[in-house]
Amino acid sequence: MPVIDVAKDLDSRTITVTSEFAAPVDRVWQIWEDPRQLERWWGPPTYPATFTEHELAPGARVKYHMTGPDGEVYPGYWDITEVEKPTRLGYDDGFADAEGNPQESAPLGTIGVDLVAADAGSTRMVMTATYATAEDLQKVLDMGMEEGLTAAVNQVDGLLAA
């Protein structure tokens, strides 16, 4: 399985997911850069994602939604804050309403994704989400973020092998 560690720290308001893939950094970057590839792994298997707007450039807004097994749609967005192709991506990850507008009352995560070359041409991906308060982190953990993100990232190997 790609996920090798999940660390939660309420004091620092973070959850960090570390994974490793048998592919070079440039190839792993592509799964973020190409929205059709992103759709094949972002979101747990029972909540697939559809990206309706996607540009990895500082200041851009990425819009997507996940569709649950009952057909319910859960919109979200990323406000891109940092792009250092192919090793670093930063974005604010939030919940949206049906029109794609941010839900101001929902937790907002500040996400950093680092891709680092590892042994034998593999890539280590470290995703760290930081929340404004420990309560916000706990809210997303209670919503199943750890399990959902782990299930999502564990789909990447199949995509990279295809």
CATH of the domain at 135: 3.30.530.20
Q: What is the pLDDT of residues 17-55, one digit of tens each?
A: 999 999 999 999 999 999 999 999 998 999 999 999 999
Q: What is the number of structural domains in the chain?
A: 1
pLDDT of residue 162: 82
pLDDT tens readout for residues 98-143:
888 999 999 999 999 999 999 888 999 999 999 999 999 999 999 9
Range of the domain at 64: 3-161
pLDDT at residue 1 is higher than 90: no
- 67-92 tens-digit pLDDT: 999 999 999 999 999 999 999 999 99
pLDDT at 48: 94
Peptide bond into 69 cis (omega under 30): no
Listing DSSP states for 34-84 in one string gives: -HHHHHTTSS-TTS-EEEEE---STT-EEEEEEE-TTS-EEEEEEEEEEEE
Side-chain-side CA neighbours of residue 124 (13 Å): 12
CA-CA-CA-CA torsion for 19, 34, 143, 8, nearest 10 degrees?
A: 30
Please give the torsion angle defined by the CA atoms of residues 12, 17, 18 and 23, in that order, rounded to the nearest 10 degrees.
-140
